[in-house]
Amino acid sequence: MPTKFPDRVKRFFKAFNAKVTGEDKIIIDQYLEDRHKKLFYSMRIFDQKHCLDVTKTLLNSDREVTKITLQLALLHDIGKQVQPFYLLERVLVVVFPRKTMKIPVEPLISNPLKKAWQLKYWHPEYGARLAEKGDFDNYLTELIRYHHHLPPKFQEIEDFQWSDNLN
Helical residues (DSSP H) of 22-153, grouped into ranges: 22-31, 34-40, 45-59, 67-75, 87-95, 112-133, 138-145
**In this model, does residue 47 exceed pLDDT 80?**
yes
Residues 6+ apart with CB under 8 A from 132: 141
pLDDT at 4: 64
pLDDT at 3: 57
pLDDT at 8: 66
In a domain, 108, yes or no: no
What is the mean pLDDT of the segment spanning 103-109? 90
- The DSSP code for 81 is G
In a domain, 146, yes or no: yes
Residue 96: CB atoms within 10 A of its CB come to: 10
85 or 113, greater pLDDT: 85
In a domain, 63, yes or no: yes
In a domain, 55, yes or no: yes
Q: Domain range for residue 60?
A: 5-82+122-166
pLDDT at 92: 82
In a domain, 115, yes or no: no
Task: Tell me the per-residue pLDDT of 114-144, one tens digit each, with 9 for 90 and over.
Answer: 899 999 999 999 999 999 999 999 999 999 9
Q: How many domains does the chain have?
A: 1
In a domain, 131, yes or no: yes
**In this model, does residue 2 exceed pLDDT 60?**
no
Cβ pair 40, 32 in contact under 8 A: yes
In a domain, 88, yes or no: no
In a domain, 105, yes or no: no
Percentage of the chain beyond pLDDT 90 is: 69
